[in-house]
Amino acid sequence: MLIGGIEAGGTKFVCAVGDESGNILDKITFPTEEPDKTLDAAKQFFNKHDIQALGVGSFGPVDLNKKSKTFGSILNTPKLKWKQFHLLDQLKQDYNVPITLDTDVNAAALGEYKYGAAKNVASVLYITVGTGIGAGFVKDGQTYIGKSHPEMGHIFIQQRKDDNFEGNCPYHGTCLEGLASGPAIEKRFGKKGDLLGADHIAWEITADYLAQAIINYLLILSPEKVIIGGGVMKQKQLYPLIRRKVLEFSNAYMELENLDEMIVTPKLNDEQGIKGAIALALLG
């Protein structure tokens, strides 16, 4: 069976066709422009393939509340041409196959769960730390959606006493995203993270906030594995720092064995999103 997948990101769209085993047979990437133009480009790609189902991992916020009148539409995004755009309706017009819509981070979590670093566990949290911070969660083969989809990047944590940064989240100031996203690091230290040295205090501070967030996620969701990806995590020194701080902050309250295997890097080399999108179509 040939399955289509769309990783609908805020800056780029990835479209691919693949099979039930996670193999990708054809793939295309193009920039995210206005909805019509972008979805036309997707249609041109899929016209070449006889797909039986389509999975879509979308940027958000996207209305995933099945009881809602606007189910399947993009909500309050800064990308104005996409705001209130009814993505699922348009896709249904474009493709006469079953369509499964979810968030980009849930798709990435599902990709790693089925084919990557979380292949052998029952539940996984996939955190991405980049321009923003978000997380997707998969348990027992299903992506997690509540009333609508989580927005885990905006949780409150404790700001360090030696950190006076006012935060850069337009809604919450010093929430996790406001303190630890790529733009937050750049704003606090006056240059992009990758221009700071690997031993810069920025990483100690960032690891502190991400470790606190992971503690909160563990206490609330109790996942077996935590994968952290995204542009900021190209700073590989963050992983041991985060693990050390998770252990320190938990302070023996939680039973945390072998954090080297519990808090890990993604395994699918930036293909977790598109492989997960294809896998979404198989959830049924």
Contact 178, 184 (CB under 8 A): yes
Q: Please, how many CA atoms are within 13 Å of residue 283, restricted to the half-sphere of its CB?
A: 28
Site string for a second copy, 26-65 (x = CB under 8 A): ----------------------------------------
Quick one: 19 or 261, whose CB is closer to a second copy?
261
Question: In the complex, what is the shortest distance from the CB of residue 245 to a second copy, in angstroms, rounded to a whole number?
Answer: 12
Q: Is 156 in the site for a second copy (CB under 8 A)?
A: yes
In angstroms, the CA 229 to CA 231 distance is: 7
- Binding of a second copy by 148 (CB under 8 A): yes
Residue of 216, 231, 267, 283 interacting with a second copy (CB under 8 A): 216
User: Would you list the DSSP string of 212-272?
Assistant: HHHHHHHHHH--SEEEEESGGGGSTTHHHHHHHHHHHHHTTSS----HHHHEE--SSTT-H
> Which of 225, 232, 231, 233 lies closest to 262, judged by CA?
225
Task: Please give the structure tokens belonging to residue 244.
Answer: 């050390």
Question: Which residues between 232 and 271 bind a second copy (CB under 8 A)?
Answer: 249-255
Asked if 90 touches a second copy (CB under 8 A), the answer is no
Of the listed pieces 8-16, 218-226, 229-237, 239-247, which binds a second copy according to CB under 8 A?
218-226
Query: What residues make contact with a second copy under the rule CB under 8 A?
Result: 75, 122-123, 139, 145-152, 154-159, 171-172, 174, 212, 215-217, 219-224, 249-255
